[in-house]
Amino acid sequence: MKASTVNELKKELSHLEAKELVELCSRLARFKKENKELLTYLLFEAHDEAGYIRSVKAEIDAQFNEIQKGNSLYLQKKSVRKILGGTNKYIRYTGSKTTEAELLLYFCKQLNHSGIRIQDSTALSNLFQGQLKKIAKLVLTFHEDLQYDYRKELDCLG
């Protein structure tokens, strides 16, 4: 089965009644955890972006605290990639560039302060530098005042 385009789906959804939309959304939420998480964000957390950012930061903290300092570099790399993947998933839910920059900066700060020796691993070093480049590119799209604040934080990390 070929999936329809977003535009085709929008048109079709606009013809449905509210009750039918509720049924479709609840059915969609049953099939994949990410669908349920996205609906949760849209219904309960989208109105409080600052609270959402705080909760994601708390989750990032918890995940970094779980990384064992004595573990092999391989396990640490795997854990860091998992944390970044989760962070990127939460960023996709918001669609906000400032939230993206905020969360990626926080991830980089936590990675820097985690005690993991980034410089000992080419993969971790490249991952870290890649995130810094991504943030720098995002910051260029912001207003001048925000650019200054984020660049200052970036300079501390770089």
**CB neighbour list of residue 111: distance below 8 Å, 6 or more residues apart:** 64, 80, 118, 124, 128
Percent of the chain with pLDDT over 90: 48
**CB neighbour list of residue 85: distance below 8 Å, 6 or more residues apart:** none
The tokens for 145 are: 């005042």
Amino acid 55: pLDDT = 95
DSSP state of 41: I
pLDDT per position as a tens digit, 39-77: 889 889 989 999 999 999 999 999 999 887 667 888 899
Length of the chain, please? 158
pLDDT per position as a tens digit, 101-130: 999 999 999 999 988 888 888 999 999 999
Q: Where do the domains of the chain lie?
A: 48-157
Amino acid 70: pLDDT = 64
